Every structure is written in C-alpha cells, then in structure tokens.
C-alpha cells in the first residue's frame, strides 16, 4: 500500500503527545506492506517547525529515509493564539518536566519552503487510485491540497483521518477538528473515500509502560527511539490524565491499514460546526436516511464515511509489537 502520512509529531518535546511518532514508526516498520512515500507536517500538537524537527530527528535516529514536506503553520481561519497557548504551555511542575531529562530534544532544523499541499496533491493526482492518505493532525494541509487539486477527492484511494468526537464524556470537540474546523469540514464533505477514527474509539486504546517495554524489546534503532521518547509521555499521561498509561490515537489509523479487523465500523454522514462559541469545531454524525427531523437542514454534502466504533486494544498492541519486531 502506497502511503502519505500528514502529521504533527511531538516525540521528545516535553508535554507533547507521542502518538504521531508511534504511527510513523509503525508505518516504517511495516515495509513492504506499507510503502511510506511522503511525510507532511502541519501545525497542531506542536508548531509546524517543531513538528518538522521531530520528524527529521525520528528519521535520523532510526536510519529510515522518507521525504518530508512542510505545510501549514496555521489554520484556514481559526485564530492560532489560544490553541498555541494551550498546546505549547510550559510544564509548571518541575517533577513532571524532569520526566524528559534523559530524552534527547530534537534539534532545531532549517525549515524548508512550505510545499506540503503541492507535494500531497501531485503525488495523489499523478497516481490515481493508488495512494492512501493518513491524516493524523489538523486537516489544514489536506484542505489546501483539495483546494489546489479538486480532482484529488476522486484520485485518492482513501483518506483515513484521526479526528472528531461524538459521544465522549468531557469532550465537545477534539483538537484536530477544533484547531481547524473549516479544513475539517472541507475534507469531510469532499466526496473522497474516507474512514474516520474519532476520539470515541481512539480513547479505547491504552499503552502502559509494561506494554511499551514488551513491544520495544527488539534492540533496534526504531525500538530504542520509541522507548526513549514514549516513556516520559506515558508517565506524564498517568499523572495529568489519571490513566493507566496513554492513549495512542494516531497509531490506530496505521494499525487499521494493516489489519482492518481490529475495529468495527459503521457508515455515517459527518459534518463539523463552524458557528457558536460552544459548538464551533464540534462534529456531528447521522446515519444515511436516519434523521427523523430535518426541518431547516440542507441536504448532506459529500458522501457517508466509514466511522470506527470499537477496537480490540489487546489485539492492537500485539499487532504493533509484531510489526516492530519484523521491522
């Protein structure tokens, strides 16, 4: 399977999530079943230039070679300041900050000219029906690509997205859609073949320190990198989110490409709210023909998506471990 991963990695950055790094590692280790042909970087979990430094550091540390394209530094419309203040805030507790004391910090890299939208659009449109796009950050780069190459919606084999939340206590919206609602709406209603992994299913995943130690037993550069950069985040998640470990949202997207039987799915129309202080960035789903009241509602745009529902976490962790061992 020929693959592009559009992401916002944070491995090695104190307080930043590491699920993008695990997703990238899983795709790299899955060769030749997955052929990762492009990594594109978008502002999200980390600022764009930080994400680029993280991706470059990951490849340098593990010995893999994949082109990296830099994309959007901000959303189509959503002001970035309040999001960056939330996502980039320093860790106030010195004990928690010290969790990263033995983790190499990705060195600042000279960021190339942003061209991710062109790189994504060209690769997909020059190879119609062959390229799968895993979009595991905000959808700004993908939206830009669709604006530049409208034919991409039909040319892409599938877009697999981590984003959205529908019925999860404590969440009205998620970061990926909330950070760029206009981009999310543009992509979800584009008519492309789309599979969606919302928070409702990705929060059924769980990676503990014990599971991490087991799956990274092979003494390879990739496993060493994952151990070093993931251990502090798991402890940080345990202390700040009061979980047994950490969720691995983005890794589920890549695992699903390798083994679709990991999850159950159902078809829904999905849309994203663009208005309202409390509702902007929130996502809604409904079954085709399933609404009993449609007064004042337009016809749905695009086509139904395949939405992940339930995941077998034990099977997911086993798949990741087996793939890393082979890689």
Q: Is pLDDT at 324 greater than 90 in this prediction?
A: yes
DSSP letters spanning 233-250: HHHHHHHHH--SSB--HH
DSSP 285: E
Q: Which pLDDT does position 283 carry in this prediction?
A: 97
Q: Per-residue pLDDT tens for 124-143? A: 999 999 999 999 999 999 99
pTM assigned to the model: 0.97
Give the contacts of 92 (CB within 8 A, at least 6 positions apart): none
Checking if the pLDDT of 109 tops 80, the result is no
Three-state DSSP class for 56? helix
Mean pLDDT of 215-222: 96
Is the predicted pLDDT of residue 182 greater than 80, yes or no? yes
CATH of the domain at 102: 3.90.245.10
pLDDT, average across residues 244-253? 98
What confidence score (pLDDT) does residue 309 get? 98
- The tens digit of pLDDT for each residue in 252-306 reads 999 999 999 999 999 999 999 999 999 999 999 999 999 999 999 999 999 999 9
- Taking only Cα atoms into account, the Rg of the chain, rounded to an integer number of angstroms, comes to 19
Binned at pLDDT 50, 70 and 90, residue 179 comes out as: very high
Q: Are 8 and 139 in contact (CB under 8 A)?
A: no
Q: What is the pLDDT of residue 288?
A: 96
Q: How sure is the predictor about 144, in pLDDT bands with cuts at 50, 70 and 90?
A: very high
Whether 108 has a pLDDT exceeding 80, the answer reads no
Range of the domain at 212: 2-326
Torsion angle of C-alpha atoms 173, 174, 180, 186, degrees rounded to 10: -80
Q: Which residue has 């402890």 as its token pair?
A: 235
* % of residues, the chain, pLDDT over 90: 98
pLDDT at site 107? 86
Domain count, the chain: 1
Label the pairing between strands 263-272 and 283-286.
Answer: antiparallel
Whole-angstrom distance, CA of residue 296 vs CA of residue 278: 21
Structure tokens at 120: 């994504």
Give the tokens for residue 285: 């789903």
The two structure tokens encoding residue 121: 């659009």
Interval 27-32 mean pLDDT: 98
Write down the number of H helices and E strands in the chain: 14, 9
């Amino acid at each position: 399977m020929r693959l592009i991963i559009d992401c916002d990695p944070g491995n090695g950055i104190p307080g930043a999530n590491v699920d993008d790094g695990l997703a990238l590692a899983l795709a790299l280790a899955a060769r030749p079943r997955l052929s990762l042909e492009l990594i594109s970087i978008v502002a999200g979990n980390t600022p764009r230039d930080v994400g680029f430094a993280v991706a470059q550091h990951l490849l340098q540390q593990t010995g893999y070679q994949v082109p990296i394209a830099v994309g959007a530094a901000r959303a189509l419309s959503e002001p970035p300041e309040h999001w960056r203040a939330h996502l980039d805030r320093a860790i106030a507790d010195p004990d928690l900050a010290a969790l990263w004391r033995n983790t190499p910090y990705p060195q600042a890299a000279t960021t190339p000219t942003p061209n991710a939208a062109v790189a994504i659009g060209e690769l997909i449109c020059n190879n119609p029906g062959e390229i799968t796009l895993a979009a595991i950050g905000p959808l700004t780069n993908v939206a830009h690509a669709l604006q530049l190459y409208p034919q991409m919606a039909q040319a892409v084999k599938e877009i697999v997205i981590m984003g959205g939340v529908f019925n999860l206590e404590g969440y009205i919206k998620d970061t990926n859609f909330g950070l760029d609602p206009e981009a999310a709406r543009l992509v979800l209603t584009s008519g492309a073949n789309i599979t969606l992994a919302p928070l409702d299913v990705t929060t059924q995943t769980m990676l503990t320190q014990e599971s991490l130690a087991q799956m990274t037993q092979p003494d390879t550069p990739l496993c060493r990198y994952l151990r070093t950069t993931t251990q502090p985040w798991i402890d940080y998640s345990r202390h700040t989110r009061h979980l047994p470990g950490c969720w691995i949202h983005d890794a589920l997207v890549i695992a699903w490409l390798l083994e679709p039987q990991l999850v159950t799915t159902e078809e829904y129309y999905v849309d994203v709210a663009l208005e309202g202080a409390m509702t902007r960035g929130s996502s809604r789903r409904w079954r085709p023909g399933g609404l009993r009241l449609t007064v004042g509602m337009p016809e749905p745009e695009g086509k139904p998506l395949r939405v992940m529902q339930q995941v077998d976490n034990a099977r997911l962790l086993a798949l990741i471990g087996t793939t890393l061992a082979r890689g």
